[in-house]
Structure formats: structure tokens, C-alpha cells
Amino acid sequence: MTSPQKPTRPLAMRPVIDVSIALIVCVLLGTAIAMGSWVLVTLIDGERTTLQALPVQYAYRVSIKPSTGADVPSPDRLARELMASGRWTSVSLEDRDGEKIIEVRSDRWKPGLPEEIRSRDYSIGRITMGPVWAIEKLLRPSDLVLVAIQFISQAFAFTLMGLWLTRRISRPPPTAPTSLTKAILLGAGGGTIAFAISLVVEWLQALIGVPVSEQAIIEQVVAEPLGLLVVLPAALLLAPLGEELFFRGYVFRKLLAHTRPAVAYGCSAVLFAGIHFNPSAFLIYLIYGLALAYLLARTDRLLSAMAAHGVINALSLSLMLF
């Protein structure tokens, strides 16, 4: 007589399809809110100026210096080599607080660092890579408002969809609820650990020639005091609230209730990483997604994941600024 086998939860595709559709609707809703707000702002401003109307180029901004004893060209000579290659629309070099920053631009996307930099023994610092929306030309407050609207609208859409969808999930009450104070402390500690792991991953990616780049639009906006003022609330409050309500409160919990735990962790983390539209940092966002889902599963309190998310964003902004 054989013992009865323990039933396994089937891999149901319907919940995966449901959360994917919800994510698409959420992105479309955020885009619609942003576009409506852009129209309102440009009408008030009296000009039809939007980010899409500005010229677009792809840029790499890299802080470099020759390693000790390395027989490599100086940054000035490197800049001349890059310009002479004819593969770049423009090359510029600036000295910021003793740090050489070289910027190359192209009208076409060229994945990876320029060969002249990657193949030589340079000490490479912070890298910014991605599309440039000519934000250095945004001088009026209304222009920065347009950028802020883009961030805030998406966070607002995630919050609305998350609040509505989480109420539609039926789940059993927690058997051993974590206290509010402990959940917040676990979230803050978990966010710090996740950020530390991301720094190790970033270092490893740089070693293998696939450096992690910051989103260019964010770096350019926070460089302006007014831009930083509008990004801080979105990064520290709105993004943790909206994204955790949607990705952990709805996506993770729904998948966890209807599929295997591995599917719930994996799908929610992949969707979370993908929505940031930063291929070079996909692995880092994937780690964040897994860590935030674990904190929710561990404490059964969304506030724990929100606290961790806020800590991660605060540390990321601090690293970007300092």
C-alpha cells in the first residue's frame, strides 16, 4: 500500500496573465495622467514645449583616471582619440573637483562602454548611460514640473491600482502577525542589506565589462536644486507607497495565493525590475524585488516593504549626490 502523495499546487497561468494585464493598465493609466498634466502645464506656460519635443541623443558620462602606474593615454588624449574615431557625434571633457569626466554622445544607441575606455586600465568611477532628453537646457520651473509629473503620475497610478486591486484579494489572516515597530525595523534593515548586496553586484558587473548605469534622466534632474526638490518626495514617499501596493500588495500576494511560491517571487520580481526600464541594472532591481517580497512574506505587513523601499531609494540618491 503506497502512502498518499502530498498534493502540489499547479502552475496556473491565469493569475500570471491577470497581473501582467494589470501592469499594462497601470502603465497606460500613468501615461494618460502624465500626458493630461503635460498639456495643462504647457497651456498655463503658454508654450508647447514637452520633453518629447527636445532633441534626443544617447550619452555615456564616465568619471575616469589612469590606474597607478598604468601606461594608458591621459583623459585629454583619450578624448581626442574618441573624437577622431568618427563614431561619436560629440566628445567633451570636464574637470569637476579634480575628477575627470568624459562624455560621449551618439545619435544611435551603442550598447556598452566605448572600446577605448573598456579595453584599457582606467579606474572607472560613476557611469551614466542612456537617452538624454537635453534636460541640461531645462531652466524654467515649468520644465522641471514636466519631469516631476512623469515620476509622480506613474507612482499615483500604481497607488490607485494597488489600493483597488489589493481589496479584491481574499487571503487568510496571519497566524503570527509581526508588530508594527518590528516590521518597520526589519524593513529598514532589510533595505540596507539589499542595497549593500546591490553594490557588490554592481562591482561584479563592472569587472566583467557590463557596468551598471544610473537612469540619465534622474541624474540630470537631481543635479538642479529644484529638480532634487521635486524628485525627493517621489523617490522617498510616492514610489515606495505606490510600487509596494501594486507589486507586493497585489502581484505577489495574488500569485502566492494561486501558484507556487517560486513563481510568485520570480514573476513579481521580474515585473518590478522590468518596469524601471534600465537593462544594465535589471539584476539589481530583481534582487530588490525578491528582498521586498520576502519582507512582506516574513512580516505580512506592507509597511515593512515600504520602509525597505524608502531606505533603498534614499541610499541610492545619497550615492548619486555624494
- The strand order across the sheet containing 99-106 reads 90-96, 99-106, 57-66, 122-132
Give the pLDDT of residue 158: 86
Whether the per-residue pLDDT at 283 is higher than 50: the answer is yes
Q: Which three cell numbers stand for residue 46?
A: 503658454
Confidence check: pLDDT of 214 > 50:
yes
Q: Which of 127, 164, 182 is nearest to 319 (CA)?
A: 127
Band the pLDDT of 84: cuts 50, 70, 90.
confident
pLDDT above 70 (res 258):
yes
Residue 184 confidence (pLDDT):
93
More confident residue, 203 or 47: 203
Which is higher by pLDDT, 110 or 140? 110
pTM of the entire predicted model:
0.70
**What pLDDT was estimated at residue 229?**
76
Out of 34-38, 42-46, 232-236, which region has the weakest mean confidence (pLDDT)? 42-46
Q: What is the predicted pLDDT for the residue at 297?
A: 92
pLDDT of residue 18: 80
**Where does residue 27 rank: exposed (0-12), middle (13-18), buried (19+ CB within 10 A)?**
middle
**How confident is the model at residue 77, as a pLDDT?**
80
Above pLDDT 90, what percent of the chain? 24
pLDDT above 70 for 135: no
Strongest mean pLDDT among 32-36, 93-97, 165-169, 204-208:
204-208
Residue of 109, 88, 67, 74 lying closest to 213 (CA atoms): 109
Q: Over the stretch 3-30, which tens digit does the pLDDT of each residue have?
A: 455 444 555 677 778 888 888 888 788 7
Q: What is the mean pLDDT of the chain?
A: 76
Better-predicted residue by pLDDT, 17 or 37: 17
Mean pLDDT, rounded, for 215-240: 74
How far is the C-alpha of 229 from the C-alpha of 307, rounded, in Å?
Answer: 20
Confidence of residue 215 (pLDDT cuts 50, 70, 90): low
DSSP-assigned states of every residue in 231-298: HHHIIIIIHHHHHIIIIIIIIIHHHHHHS-HHHHHHHHHHHHHHTT--GGGHHHHHHHHHHHHHHHHH
* CB 36, CB 96: distance < 8 Å: no
Res. 98: pLDDT tops 80: no
Q: Which fold has domain 57-132?
A: Alpha-Beta Plaits (3.30.70)
Domain ranges of the chain: 13-43+138-321, 57-132
Neighbour count for residue 249 (Cβ, 10 Å) = 22
